[in-house]
A and B are shown apart, each in its own frame.
Chain A
Amino acid sequence: MVFFLLIISLLLLNSCTPQSPKTANPQSKSSSAYIQNKGSDTLVNLALAWAEQYQTLFPEIEISVTGGGSGTGFTALINGTVDIANASRQIKAEEVQQAKANGFEPVEFTVANDAIAVIVNPGNPVSQLTLDQVSKIYQGKINNWQEVGGQDRPIVRLSRETNSGTHVYFLETVIRLGDLKNKSFFSADTLLLPSSEGIFAEVRDNPNAIGYDGLGYVTPEVKMIALAKKVTDPYVLPSATTVTDSTYPISRSLYMYTHGQPSGAIKDYIDWILSPKAQQYTIQLGFVPLAATK
């Protein structure tokens, strides 16, 4: 009987208490330090690359990087379980409120830029679209490639799942064209694929498909679409240059957030990430470095 009670209480405990690892001390100034870094899945590969490189440069510093999504990272930062939160979106007002209630002000650092590439099968003759056309395609108002100058084929819309920050960004910036009052959204028959690989496998194989993903994930086996804000504007392909000079219409910044102004090891780490040397890694992983933005 005691055994039963034990099991039950264990289960209840598990379901009630949020998992909170020991709070790392963000003010640690000692030479050896442990930095916890969590959040955006878009940023996770880049954050890992930085962490690995930084640890080989400074072996006394230990950095752990985990994904889970931008929201997860902010929650962890607010609860004090991580030192740095990674995010592919800016912090929301209510998240700032929660942080203030916990006695600190989150400080934002823009650490890299990222473009969203719209991709099609290499066999698709369409190579340029306006944002409005992409929006109409994803809303289900354009259903045949013929309507945008392609072959007589049905359009198969591919998207990441709704929990992806990229999905939300695409919804707000492309489908709603940045208009906050616009309440239109993805056509119900949009295929929601659980992974980037799922999107690329289908676009590679299927001449009907259209998809989107971060520039860092694009492989040469798919074709990127040149985009224009308006019909009269030039059509631009995504690349480090076009993101930097803001001619490519759908690019965003990636962020890191800290507990108040960072100090000690965390400040050193952020400073290093913003240095031109660390920014080189963004190019290797398909992101766009900051330094060039200025």
Chain B
Amino acid sequence: MKNKSEAIITRGIKIAGFSSIIFLLLIFAFLMKEGTPALAEVPVGELFNPRWYPIEKYFGILPLIGGSLMVTFFSILIALPFGVGTAVYIAEIAPQGIKQLLKPVIEILAGIPSVVLGFIGIQVLVPFTRRFLDLPTGLTAFSGSILLALISIPTIVSIAEDALYAVPRSYREAAIALGASKWETILGVTLPAARTGVLTAVMLGIGRSLGETMAVMMVTGNAPVIPNQWMSFFLPIRTMTATIASEMGEVASGSTHYHVLFFIGIILFVLSLIINVTASWVSFRKRTREQLVS
């Protein structure tokens, strides 16, 4: 009897474990089924049209890809020093009391719904950006990048901090025994030892930024312009996620527009797949090297 129930439980857990693979495959199959007809319905050249205006059959996706890449890139540029800096502070420098305060605070930051951040963005960040930088409007890629940085920092901090924590104590002791200062130890020993973990953190942060929808939709202005100059960072842009979110609601199922939106979904899926594969490849390399050392 006991053996039987145990077998059932084991089977159940196994199913749960494999279900995520099944779901991933189903999602991918669905995306392909709904997205690939776009390639047949819209001439490929038309997809590289600089104009996105779907109700008049302009399906140029370059402005959307460019917009997504631009906000993601700059958000990571902002989030990287803040995220890694915070992780180093928590793991290496902060006294016990502050550490115990900071960790839950970061977790709360991670838990703020992005729509709330977006709302604060509209009310506070956007007017401030416009006045402070004297721009035509504050609804810009810049505002979006700052909000996305806020959203991806908690991800980066918690993973990078874990990686720093995993560096053996003996490494630090050896460095200090050799006469290195605390700063020299962090920069020369601890961070390089945790390098791959920190890289994974950054990769996941990029994934978080790329996929974020609501906050970006609220503060970037959603103007489908190709960001082809440095000044574009201070002008409105439109991301892939915001396009799908705002247009999917009313689009006729099975129309060309519908298929193109799913095609954008495929691009997003592939991009985040590349990021995740890179992240796990990086951490896999770390493991093999550690095995060599031990």
B122–A201 touching, CB < 8 Å: yes
B56–A185 touching, CB < 8 Å: yes
- Which B-chain residue is minimally distant from A1 (CB atoms)? B15
Given the contacts A3-B15, A163-B250, A186-B53, A191 and B30 also touching, CB distance less than 8 Å: no
B138–A206 touching, CB < 8 Å: yes
**In the complex, B127 has a CB within 8 A of chain A:** yes
CB-CB under 8 A from A206, the residues of chain B are 127, 130, 137-138
CB-CB under 8 A from A205, the residues of chain B are 126-127, 130, 138
B250–A69 touching, CB < 8 Å: yes
B22–A189 touching, CB < 8 Å: no
A161–B246 touching, CB < 8 Å: yes
The CA of A294 and the CA of B215, in the complex, are separated in Å by 46
- Which A-chain residue is minimally distant from B238 (CB atoms)? A192
8 Å CB contact of A194 from B50, B53, B218: B218
A189–B54 touching, CB < 8 Å: no
The CA of A203 and the CA of B250, in the complex, are separated in Å by 26
**In the complex, A8 has a CB within 8 A of chain B:** yes
**In the complex, B10 has a CB within 8 A of chain A:** no
The CA of A129 and the CA of B252, in the complex, are separated in Å by 36
Chain A contacts with B in 197-226, Cβ cutoff 8 A: 198, 201-202, 205-206, 208-209
A209–B26 touching, CB < 8 Å: no
The CA of A162 and the CA of B246, in the complex, are separated in Å by 9
**In the complex, A71 has a CB within 8 A of chain B:** yes
The CA of A69 and the CA of B126, in the complex, are separated in Å by 29
B142 CB to closest chain A CB (Å) equals 14
- Which A-chain residue is minimally distant from B219 (CB atoms)? A198
Mask of A163-201 contacts with B, CB within 8 angstroms, 1/0 = 100001000000000000001011011111110001001
A162–B137 touching, CB < 8 Å: no
**In the complex, B236 has a CB within 8 A of chain A:** yes
- Which A-chain residue is minimally distant from B137 (CB atoms)? A156
8 Å CB contact of A191 from B19, B139, B253: B139
Q: Report, as a range, how many residues of chain B touch the other chain.
A: 35 or more
Chain B contacts with A in 196-251, Cβ cutoff 8 A: 217-218, 221-225, 235-236, 238, 242, 245-247, 249-251
Given the contacts A3-B15, A191-B222, A209 and B137 also touching, CB distance less than 8 Å: yes
The CA of A227 and the CA of B235, in the complex, are separated in Å by 29
A189–B222 touching, CB < 8 Å: no
- Which B-chain residue is minimally distant from A160 (CB atoms)? B246
Chain A contacts with B in 1-37, Cβ cutoff 8 A: 3-4, 7-8, 11, 15, 18
The CA of A219 and the CA of B34, in the complex, are separated in Å by 42
B222–A192 touching, CB < 8 Å: yes
CB-CB under 8 A from B54, the residues of chain A are 162
8 Å CB contact of B137 from A3, A188, A191: A191
A188–B225 touching, CB < 8 Å: yes
A50 CB to closest chain B CB (Å) equals 24
B136–A156 touching, CB < 8 Å: yes
- Which B-chain residue is minimally distant from A11 (CB atoms)? B26
B25 CB to closest chain A CB (Å) equals 10
A208–B136 touching, CB < 8 Å: yes
The CA of A114 and the CA of B126, in the complex, are separated in Å by 31
B130 CB to closest chain A CB (Å) equals 6
CB-CB under 8 A from B223, the residues of chain A are 188-192
A273 CB to closest chain B CB (Å) equals 25
- Which A-chain residue is minimally distant from B60 (CB atoms)? A188
8 Å CB contact of B55 from A3, A153, A162, A189: A162
Residues on B lying within 8 angstroms of A by beta carbon are 15, 19, 22, 26, 30, 50-51, 53-56, 63, 122-123, 126-127, 130, 136-139, 217-218, 221-225, 235-236, 238, 242, 245-247, 249-253
Which 8 interchain pairs have the tightest Cβ spacing? A163-B250, A191-B221, A154-B136, A156-B137, A192-B222, A205-B127, A69-B250, A189-B223
Q: List 26 A-B contacts (CB under 8 A).
A: A4-B22, A7-B19, A7-B22, A68-B250, A71-B252, A161-B246, A162-B54, A162-B55, A163-B250, A168-B55, A185-B53, A188-B53, A189-B223, A189-B236, A191-B139, A192-B223, A193-B222, A194-B242, A202-B137, A202-B139, A205-B130, A205-B138, A206-B137, A206-B138, A208-B136, A208-B137
